[in-house]
Amino acid sequence: MATDTSPNFQAVIPTTEFHTELSLPTPDHDGLDFWQYMVAGSIAGSVEHMAMFPVDTLKTRMQALTTTTTTTSCLRQSLSSILKLEGPSSLYRGISAMALGAGPAHAVYFSVYEFCKQAFSSSFTTNNYSSLVHAASGVCATVTSDAVFTPMDVVKQRLQLKSSPYKGVVDCVRRVALEEGVGAFFKSYRTTVVMNAPFTAVHFAAYEATKKGLVEVSPEIADDRRWVVHATAGGAAGALAAVVTTPLDVVKTQLQCQGVCGCDRFSSNSIGHVIKTVIRKDGYRGLMRGYVPRMLFHAPAAAICWSTYEASKSFFHKLN
C-alpha cells in the first residue's frame, strides 16, 4: 500500500514547528512508501537482535531461575560458567527463532509507529505535544508487533535455557503445541504488552527528546555525523526504559519458561500472581533479576537499531 499518494501518509505538518521538532537540517524522511518503512524496520530489528543475542541469553538465564543476586559479578560468573561448561555456541542457542520473529515484528513495529506518528501529528500543530505523540505512537506500535513476536519469543527463551529439552525451533514449536496447547505461545502476551507499552512510551519519548537536545547543543553534528545523534539518543533511551520495566520483564520470562528446566510453574498466568510468587521466594530483589544484562542489551541494541533504521530510511529517501 503506497503512502506517497495517500493523504494520510503525507508529511501532514509542513511547518517550521515540524522541522524544529525533528531538529535535523536534512530533508524530511516521512512520506516514504509503506513497504519501505517495513523493510527499514525489519533490517533494523534483525541487526539489533542478532548483534546482542548473547547478552539476551544471559538475561534469560538469570531471570528464569531462582536467585537473589543481581550484581555485575553474577553476570560475569554466569558468562564464565556458560563458556566453560557449555561452550560459546550455547550463547547463540535459539537465535534461529529470533531470526524468524525479529524481522516481521519490527517491520510491523516501525511501520505502525510511522503511520501513527503522522496521524497523531495532524491533530497537534505545536511542539508542546511532540513527546505525547511519539509515546502514543510507540504504544500502538508495540501492541501490534508483540502479537507477531510473542510466539517466537517463547520458543527463543525456552531454547536459551540451560539443558533445554528441545532440539531446535521446529521441535520446540511441535512439542509445546502438543503438550501445552497453542495458547502456551500467547500466555505472556498480556504481560508483554503491559511491559512494552511503558517501555516503548519511555523509549520513544526519551529518544526524540534526547535527539532534539543533542542537535540543539551541537548543531554541527547533524550535518556530517548524524549517526552519532541516533546512536547516542537510542542508547540513552534504551538504557532508561530497560531499567524501569525490568520487573515486568522478569514476570514475562517466568511465564514463558514455566515448567521447563526447573523453572516454576504457576497456577495462574496473572501478572499479580507471578509478582507475589517472586516476592515471596526472593524478596523484592527478585523482581530486578537480570537488570544488568537487560540494560547492557537495550542500550547498545537501541543505538544499533535506531542508527540502522534511520540509515535505511535515508537510503529510501534518496532512492525515491
pLDDT tens sequence across 247-275 = 999 999 999 888 887 788 888 888 899 99
Contact (CB, 8 A) for 290 and 246? yes
CA atoms of 239 and 134, how far apart (whole Å): 18
Q: Does the structure show a pLDDT above 60 at 8? A: no
Reduced to 3 states, what is the DSSP secondary structure of residue 158? helix
pTM: 0.72
Greatest Cα-to-Cα distance within the chain, rounded to the nearest angstrom: 60
List the CATH number of the domain containing 138. Answer: 1.50.40.10
Cell for 206? 526519551
**What pLDDT is stored for residue 1 in this prediction?**
43
Asked if residues 192 and 249 have their Cβ atoms less than 8 Å apart, the reply is no
Higher pLDDT, 24 or 71: 71
More confident residue, 2 or 144: 144
Count of beta carbons in the 10 Å neighbourhood of residue 190: 16
**Residue 313 resides in a domain:** no
Number of structural domains, the chain? Answer: 1
Per-residue pLDDT at 28 exceeds 70 = no
pLDDT digits (tens, 9 = 90+) for 42-101: 999 899 899 999 999 988 888 886 554 445 557 788 888 889 989 999 999 999 999 899
What percentage of residues in the chain have a pLDDT greater than 70?
A: 84
Q: How far apart are CA 130 and CA 21, in angstroms?
A: 7
Provide the pLDDT for residue 208: 80
6 in any annotated domain: no
pLDDT at position 150, please?
94
Which domain covers residue 244, as residue numbers?
32-304
User: Residue 66 domain-assigned?
Assistant: yes
- Residue pair 59/94 in contact (Cβ under 8 Å)? The answer is no
What does the alpha-carbon distance between residue 310 and residue 40 come to, in Å, rounded to a whole number?
Answer: 8
The residue assigned the cell 561448561 is 85
CA distance 49 to 102: 7
Q: Does residue 142 belong to any structural domain of this protein?
A: yes
- Residue 30 binned pLDDT confidence (cut-offs 50, 70, 90): low
What tens digit of pLDDT does each residue of 124-175 get? Answer: 665 666 778 888 888 898 899 999 999 999 999 999 998 899 999 999 999 9
Of 145, 146, 172, 150, residue with least CA distance to 159: 172
C-alpha cell at 137: 505512537
Domain contains 26 = no
Q: Is residue 5 part of a domain?
A: no
In a domain, 185, yes or no: yes
When the pLDDT of each residue in the chain is averaged and rounded to a whole number, the result is 81
Confidence band for 6, pLDDT divided at 50, 70 and 90: very low
Q: What is the pLDDT of residue 14?
A: 39
Assigned domain for 22 exists: no
Specify the pLDDT at position 204: 76
